[in-house]
Amino acid sequence: MVSMNVLYMDLVNYVILLCSFIPVWVLFVLGWQVVSPDSISSHNNESMVVEFLWTVFPTLAVVVLCFLNLQCVSYDFLDVGCKIVKVVGRQWYWSYDVSGLGSYDSVMCDVLSGVDNPLCLTLWEFHRFMVTSSDVIHSFSIPEFNIKVDAIPGRLNYVNYCPDRYGIFVGYCTELCGAGHAYMPVVVEVIKQGLFKLE
Ligand SMILES: [Cu+2]
């Protein structure tokens, strides 16, 4: 399911390329037809097979894209035994509550986007981030995960994510939330299952 999501993002890029290529190609051929004395319209070039193929293949492509799109859209509604990760934005640090780890604060400790207690996620496990705030509006954002969820006081926003690679990922608060806005990085460690520990 996760790789489907990644595949969809890739497909979108290919479709954008294709969408740019088609008008350029059509304009080129049109121009060529206008100036060429031997244009296509002067020949008998109807072909049922070609017309059939260029109707069926794009239709199939649209069906496949619709299917992937629906999967991507419904990805957030999936409830596949997600591990709940509560995320609370505070002035100016993040608090996490991860099942198995309990509740803890993640406070910035140096200028290179380091925090004392990073958020620990396990590889290939579905996590549901439940995001809220205890004071002003923050925004929980991890660009490498394609995640950006507003943390709004009195409201619970959520997003699902399943880490597909090991590593340390850095995100930021992306809502101007006060004097310490720049000093509340999100640091996520994706580790192997069973390696959780807090210092
Ligand atoms: Cu903030």
Q: What are phi and psi of 104, to 5 degrees?
A: -155, 160
Q: What is the pLDDT of residue 4?
A: 62
- Which is nearest to 154 in space by CA: 131, 177, 138, 133? 133
Distance 181 CA to ligand 1 centre (A): 5
Q: Are strands 108-110 and 147-151 parallel, antiparallel or unpaired?
A: unpaired
Which tokens is 175 given? 């809502």
Given its phi and psi angles, is residue 77 left (phi above 0), alpha (psi -120 to 50 degrees) or beta? alpha
Distance 6 CA to ligand 1 centre (A): 28
Distance 151 CA to ligand 1 centre (A): 8
Looking at residue 122, what DSSP letter applies? E
Query: pLDDT in tens for each of the 199 residues of the chain?
Result: 455 666 777 888 889 999 999 999 999 988 988 888 777 777 777 889 999 999 999 999 999 999 988 887 776 666 667 788 999 999 889 999 987 778 899 998 876 668 888 898 888 888 889 999 999 999 999 998 889 999 999 999 988 888 888 999 999 999 999 898 988 999 999 988 766 555 4
Distance 115 CA to ligand 1 centre (A): 15
Q: How far apart are CA 193 and CA 175, in angstroms?
A: 32
Q: Which residues surround ligand 1, an ion (CB under 5 A)?
A: 138, 173, 177
Q: What is the pLDDT of residue 199?
A: 45
Q: How far apart are CA 31 and CA 123, in angstroms?
A: 54
Q: How far apart are CA 82 and CA 124, in angstroms?
A: 11
User: Looking at this protein, which amino acid is placed at residue 140?
Assistant: F
